[in-house]
Structure 1
Amino acid sequence: MVCFAFLTPPYPSPSSIVIVKEHLNIVFIGHVDAGKSTLGGNLLFITGQVDKRTMEKYEKEAKEAGRETWYLSWALDSTPQERAKGKTVEVGRAYFESDTRRYTILDAPGHKTYVPSMISGAAQADVAILVISARKGEFETGFERGGQTREHIMLVKTAGVSKVVIVVNKMDDPTVQWDQTRYNEIKDKMTPFVKAAGFNPKTDLTFLPVSAYTGLNLKDRVPKSTCPWWDGPSFLEHMDHMPMVDRKIHAPLMVPISEKYKDMGAIVVGKVESGHMRKGDNLLLMPNKTTVEVAAIYNEMEDEIPVGLCGDSVRVRLRGVDDEDISPGFVLTSPNAPVHAVRRFEAQLAILEHKSIICAGYTAVMHIHTLSEEVTLPALLHYFDKATGRKSKKPPQFAKRGQKIVALVETILPVCVERFTDYPQLGRFTLRDEGRTIAIGKVTKLLDDKADDVTEALANATLG
């Protein structure tokens, strides 16, 4: 389906109506070595984004490095560190197109120490592709306590991903050989857990058997001679026909910045979470309130485009700001309805795990959209009664694993957040401490910093 993007106001002339393929951002998640990068690399190859010659070059290099079976993942893993280890560390980015849709792949690392990078990848995704290894022993390692599979599912739900496709990979492995019993065993173990994380198994979840390495069931359906029991679609067939996510094209503009660099001026990278922008627009960079002009907008293929629409991953060249004055987590926003920048807000928290109890004064690192920031909980305000679901009148003395509470959250510097009910992508977060996800949260109430206005007024008076 071709998407016609009509932008208002002002009404564009018929010649400026933008005809674009629908665009989906997908993040590959799952335990280390499940085959995420191999799947991504082979998708790039079969959709023609990486040509045969490049693939042969990767195959030769991988062979020389003694990593023969990893050549497909080298199309996606860009740093020498990743290639040497065969593990993705940064959030890799790649792009491919089918006949009906454009896709941005965010290949998130599966290794435990890299979870913050994974959160940043998931925060920009519409759909999560959870890659699971069907190989005997590998699925069990990834799924048991301490494995990444469980944590990743909870994190992508918090990051705002609404749909999950579980790709059961390595079906061609000698220990599996496209065995339906093994596929069903994985499906039966995974479904209750994904449901507990907040996804509806009927509407938000799909299972697909594939072999990422051989490419079976990626573009074309797996032959009946190999897998007689599979009657479902191939991976790309399913992705092309998934219901499209709702795009808020006419809402106020919000683009959380995931990275920035210098290239004939300041360039910022991010996903348009809401609204749209045109070349020449004057925008605000929050929380610093810097007025900037959009000098150029580029898509994933580095082509200049006239308009960036909600859901697009874009690179934007800005005038009026130095790249040194921009940090990941800043938000490019509309001057008429800018994103809120606050130091204090109330949030509903679900405590997932913590060694001891959590009391007022607790500190952790908050990950919200593309931002990671240290926060303090100066006060616990209410807890939710498990039996009735009602909020307590009295504040709890402490919170422990399994509880749902409302707490006050405070940062040192202003951060760009919104209430979850207004903008889910800018209103949901995770709290992490000592390498573990402690809680998932939703921003429920923004508290104005009146002191801020006073400080600003004083600063202006002094300057005057």
Structure 2
Amino acid sequence: MQRNKNIEYDEDELYSDGEEEYGEEGGYSQEDKDNFATLTPVVRAELDEAGVPVTTQQIEEALWHYYWDVGKSVAYLKNSRTPREGQKEAKKEEKPKSKFDQAAEKAVGTRCPTVTAADWFKDTPWTNVPSDILGQLVPVTPEPPRIKLLGGSSKLAKLAEERRKKAAAAAQPAQAPTTDSTHSLDRLTKPKDVKENVAPAPKTEPKKYAIRRKRSPTPPPKEPTPPPEEPKEQLPSLRSSPSAFGRTLSSSSAQANGTRQMALHDLLGSGYTSNPFDGPSPDDTVMRAQDRKKTKAQQASNGLAKKTEALKIDATPAAPSQPKVRSKGLDVPSLWNEEKSKRKASAAFVVIGHVDHGKSTLMGRLLLDTGAVSQRDIDKYKKQATELGKASFALAWVMDTGAEERERGVTVDIAQHYFSTERVDFTILDAPGHRDFVPNMIGGASMADLAVLVVDANQLESGMKGQTREHILLAHAVGLRKLVVAVNKLDSTTPAWSKDVFQSVSAEVLKLLAQTGFKEDNVAVVPCSGLSGENVAKQPGGNSAASWVSKEHPTLLQQLEKFAPHSTSIDVVKKPLRLQVADVFRGGITNPLSIAGRITAGHVQIGDSVTVQPSGETATIKGVEVGGDGKDWTIADDIPTLHLVDIEAQHLRSGDVVCSSQKPIKVVKSVTAKVQALDSLLPQRVDIHVGRLHVPGGISHLVATEDAKGETLKKKPRIVKAGQKAVIRLALDDGVPLEDGDRVVLRADGSTIAAGRVEAISM
């Protein structure tokens, strides 16, 4: 097996294409020579002006290395030819020589030359020494020092020597003892003064000195004496004395070791009762002691609080509690029935359509032309928008009041505004057109009576592929049946106000509306221009290019007034209160907590006690506003602002239902719904939308499919195809307030897959 990797190179890889350029004489290509011919005189002129002499070769080398940069080449040549400041060799001042230097110089002059010993004694005459026996001095190389242990005769050396001696002695065989261990020859070497068979003189012992005692170590510094401990508070003992029954069980026998034991009660004369269960149990005693302790602590805290209150001389008095709001007990259905003929008609419409089709600008123009917004405000918005480079967004800023919306130029949440005509009071609900904010569009459409679909005459195709088609489906799904199509931006068509463009756009949109389920009598198409204002609230002039519009079509405002009237049944007004919260906010200093939403059933007045589901908290109605005006009561189909008290803000959120405390709405986690499938349905996870309420859940069962008449086609289908009607069961992750008749929209993966109504609920 081959372990080395074979790497083969092509000839094209070994040599780069750029090397052929430098194969000419001198190593420069023709392009380089042209650059030299052009730039060399420029560099030389600057160097001559600076007085720096250089050669042509040096200039070319500098230009070559600095990639034809004249400035860098000139700077390099100047620096290389001109000595830098501060680096010139300065002559050092001669310092006077010190006496030590002078003495050293003298010593150097008188020092003997270095010679060998043989040369030194070469010419020395030897007195009285024959010349034949004179020797010759030869220098000898000194012997290198022997390697010894550090420290010479150190303790380590001695220890090593003793170990060697012991090892040698152990290796020699033991010899028999002799009377005279001294050899005969060795006797001759003894000194004469040493006599045999004479006891040796005792050795003189070394002088003994008194042993110095070691000094005791310095005692450690004394640690600072700790401060005396504060006396601990003596807490009352919670342990009770044992009961008579316990003493009976724990006492020993009266006779032990043949002697009678005498107990304490025999001495004191306090015996226990004959029945051991007459006294209280230990648990009762402990509980009573704890109760007494709690009572004393509470009394002490109350006394301390009173003393603290007395010490607060400069303290401001506590704000008086707000008086409880009382209901006037009005008969709202009867009052509404009496004033019905005198009241002006009211309607709320939602503005839908694809993003950037001019919805907010069109509504800003409508508010300006109807007098709901002054020209001064528009001029202020225009100035602010111009500073951001968005001068055409001035009218849109009437509806888009948020900083994020104005910066991005996209509506994010539902914008609400009011305006009135001689016949109708209108509420505008401007819905976002971006696909990321479809849930907000669903919430706005669920609060409206009719819809205004804004279509850009120049970008119909992008709208059909975008949110125009989905918004039409959602408007029909939440129950809207009347729709006004505003064909916008006709002033920018080619040619301006082209009638053919308007007719082609109208035909395409009407076809889609008919397929969705809108009836022809409930749909109207109006040509207009929100930016210039033609045919919005005023008809265009007779001499303009839009003169044909006034002859064939009403204005947008006139069409809204035509579709606006709707009747509210007295039966709906008498039902229990149902209001879905669309927004929670602070109404002002006097109204710290306010909510807004549409009343779907019932009525409410100041002082009523209401329940908020699913939290179950109760609140009191402090104030009611409808269209910005204060009212004593409000009824179904209104979009009021309710000011609440006796409830915290954390118990309120968008999608909650404010209902009657006598008949609150139920909180459920499973419902059965009849839906129209817009896409294939399976038991799957979905997002369930009920107005402003968005909750995750899933399709748990496919119950059955139905035909157009409501008859069952197939029970327990495995799949529901797009376009079919089906009965399904929904399982919700959290409990939500729902009841029969509520409209639901099902979405999955960012698209709408089904819409319908709740048929039944289960707890």
Q: TM-score range by the shorter chain?
A: 0.7 to 0.9
Could you tell me whether the CA contact under 8 Å between 1:359 and 1:397 is conserved in 2? yes
Runs of 5+ consecutive residues of structure 2 not aligned to the other structure: 1-329
Partner of 2:364 in structure 1?
Answer: 41
| Inter-partner Cα distance in structure 2 for 1:100 and 1:385 | 43
Partner of 1:169 in structure 2?
Answer: 488
Partner of 1:423 in structure 2?
Answer: none
Structure 2 residue 577 is the aligned partner of structure 1 residue 253: yes
Partner of 1:268 in structure 2?
Answer: 595
Partner of 1:452 in structure 2?
Answer: none
| Inter-partner Cα distance in structure 2 for 1:433 and 1:132 | 26
| Inter-partner Cα distance in structure 2 for 1:18 and 1:244 | 13
> Which protein is richer in helix relative to its size?
2
Could you tell me whether the CA contact under 8 Å between 1:382 and 1:396 is conserved in 2? yes
- Within 5 A, what are the aligned runs for 1:440-451? 440-447=755-762, 449=763
Q: SS state of the match for residue 315, structure 1?
A: strand
Shift of 1:38: 0.4
Q: SS state of the match for residue 392, structure 1?
A: strand
Q: 1:290 to 1:228 in 2, by over 3 A?
A: same
Partner of 1:459 in structure 2?
Answer: none
Partner of 1:213 in structure 2?
Answer: 531
Bigger radius of gyration? 2
Q: Which AA in structure 1 matches 2:660? A: S
Q: 1:191 to 1:419 in 2, by over 3 A?
A: same
Could you tell me whether the CA contact under 8 Å between 1:349 and 1:440 is conserved in 2? yes
| Inter-partner Cα distance in structure 2 for 1:241 and 1:394 | 45
Q: SS state of the match for residue 221, structure 1?
A: coil
Partner of 1:222 in structure 2?
Answer: 540
Q: 1:377 to 1:174 in 2, by over 3 A?
A: closer
CA RMSD of aligned residues (A): 2.3
| Inter-partner Cα distance in structure 2 for 1:52 and 1:219 | 15
Shift of 1:46: 1.1
Shift of 1:199: 1.2
Shift of 1:252: 2.7
Partner of 2:638 in structure 1?
Answer: 312
| Inter-partner Cα distance in structure 2 for 1:123 and 1:13 | 24
| Inter-partner Cα distance in structure 2 for 1:307 and 1:378 | 42
Runs of 5+ consecutive residues of structure 1 not aligned to the other structure: 1-6, 421-426, 450-464
| Inter-partner Cα distance in structure 1 for 2:482 and 2:692 | 20
- Within 5 A, what are the aligned runs for 1:62-211? 62-135=385-458, 138-144=459-465, 147-202=466-521, 204-211=522-529
Shift of 1:8: 4.6
Q: Which AA in structure 2 matches 1:439? A: A
Q: Which AA in structure 2 matches 1:167? A: A
| Inter-partner Cα distance in structure 1 for 2:579 and 2:337 | 27
Q: Which AA in structure 2 matches 1:65? A: L
Q: Which moved more, 1:218-227 or 1:106-115?
A: 218-227
- Within 5 A, what are the aligned runs for 1:3-82? 8=331, 11-12=334-335, 20-82=343-405
Partner of 2:271 in structure 1?
Answer: none
> Which protein is richer in strand relative to its size?
1
| Inter-partner Cα distance in structure 2 for 1:19 and 1:13 | 10
| Inter-partner Cα distance in structure 2 for 1:177 and 1:13 | 49
Q: SS state of the match for residue 63, structure 1?
A: helix
Shift of 1:107: 0.8
Q: SS state of the match for residue 288, structure 1?
A: coil
Counterpart of 2:735 (choices 393, 401, 414) is: 414
Counterpart of 2:617 (choices 272, 278, 290) is: 290
Counterpart of 1:351 (choices 650, 659, 677) is: 677
Could you tell me whether the CA contact under 8 Å between 1:256 and 1:332 is conserved in 2? yes
Q: Which AA in structure 1 matches 2:656? A: F
Could you tell me whether the CA contact under 8 Å between 2:365 and 2:531 is conserved in 1? yes
Q: Which AA in structure 2 matches 1:364? A: V
Q: Which AA in structure 1 matches 2:754? A: A
Q: Which moved more, 1:328-337 or 1:110-119?
A: 328-337
* Alpha-carbon displacement from aligned partner over 1:155-175 (angstroms, at most 9, x marks no partner): 111122221100011111142
Q: SS state of the match for residue 448, structure 2?
A: coil
State the TM-score, normalized to the length of structure 1. Answer: 0.86
| Inter-partner Cα distance in structure 1 for 2:372 and 2:581 | 26
State the TM-score, normalized to the length of structure 2. Answer: 0.53
| Inter-partner Cα distance in structure 1 for 2:641 and 2:480 | 22
Q: 1:262 to 1:76 in 2, by over 3 A?
A: closer
Q: 1:176 to 1:13 in 2, by over 3 A?
A: closer
| Inter-partner Cα distance in structure 1 for 2:581 and 2:336 | 31
Q: 1:342 to 1:64 in 2, by over 3 A?
A: same
Paired-residue identity, %: 30
Q: SS state of the match for residue 642, structure 2?
A: strand
Could you tell me whether the CA contact under 8 Å between 1:222 and 1:234 is conserved in 2? no
Could you tell me whether the CA contact under 8 Å between 1:262 and 1:323 is conserved in 2? no
| Inter-partner Cα distance in structure 2 for 1:38 and 1:12 | 39
Partner of 1:384 in structure 2?
Answer: 706
| Inter-partner Cα distance in structure 2 for 1:78 and 1:120 | 19
Could you tell me whether the CA contact under 8 Å between 2:690 and 2:744 is conserved in 1? yes
| Inter-partner Cα distance in structure 2 for 1:153 and 1:223 | 33
How many residue pairs are counted as aligned between the two chains? Answer: 425
Q: 1:398 to 1:242 in 2, by over 3 A?
A: closer
